[in-house]
Amino acid sequence: MKIVSSVAELRDQLRGQLRTAFVPTMGNLHEGHLSLMRLARKHGDPVVASIFINRLQFGPNEDFDTYPRTFSADVEKLEKEGVYVLFAPTEKDLYPEPQEFRVKPPEQLGDILEGEFRPGFFNGVTTVVLKLFSCVQPKVAVFGKKDYQQLMIIRNMARQFALPTDIVAAETYRADDGLALSSRNGYLSKDERTEAPTLYQQLNEVAQAVRDGHINLSQLEMQAQEKLSARGWMPDYIAIRKQSDLQKPTAEDLEQQAPLVVLAAAKLGSTRLIDNLEI
């Protein structure tokens, strides 16, 4: 596996490659990330991964400085997966001058749910993803469904900018007890790790109630949040939305059985977890 840090080196390595499959990451890789590499290989060749902790998507009181950095272990895992190139730029490599041009998603998609609780987050995500796409110029790029809103925003961005990159969605990779794998799971204490699968259990309860014909969605959302709060969680939201645009479903949408998704974000101790489940 070649490890490169500069954009020029990356382009030298990929010159003439027309079927590159790309998986962008922030490192601290786990089995969920590695499953993305395997899916990427099914859609293109060679596979390129990136590791870059993007300062632009962290708020002023978020965990940029303490975000787990495990580069040596990450390299070992990527080599075992047969990744061809690891692009690991420094901030100076990717942002050699202040990144004054930014990509801003539309408010109706970027300022709800995660965007409401993490203002500016998606501006940072879309800006770095567009820049990484410009550097790698992939035929396909793979993103996990765990970050459901992020996936939708990136897919819409790629379409509206007519980028020559197909966005492939990977199913959420879960531990045996249902917890969605996340780099931030490492922040959980032993007791918190035992409690953490409750979030997914609540999503399943909400989804089942919707399938059973429960149409008071606000009540379902509130009940689920109250159950989490009673167990010591601090929920930001549990929201039932349309898969197509993450807007609240209307009575007509429910009548026509529009595909839905229930999304959640909640803090357990000091660790903020997100998850979702398609209905």
16-30 per-position pLDDT tens digit: 999 999 999 999 999
pLDDT tens string 104-149: 999 999 999 999 999 999 999 999 999 999 999 999 999 999 999 9
Distance between CA atoms of residues 221 and 206, nearest Å: 7
pLDDT digits (tens, 9 = 90+) for 177-219: 999 999 999 999 999 999 999 999 999 999 999 999 998 999 9
Strands 140-144 vs 21-25: parallel, antiparallel or unpaired: parallel
Which three-class secondary structure state does DSSP give residue 237?
strand
> pTM for the complete prediction?
0.96
Percent above pLDDT 90 for the chain: 99
To the nearest whole number, what is the mean pLDDT of the chain? 97
Residue 61 scores a pLDDT above 90: no
Q: Which residues are catalytic?
A: 33
> What DSSP element (H or E) covers 143?
strand 140-144
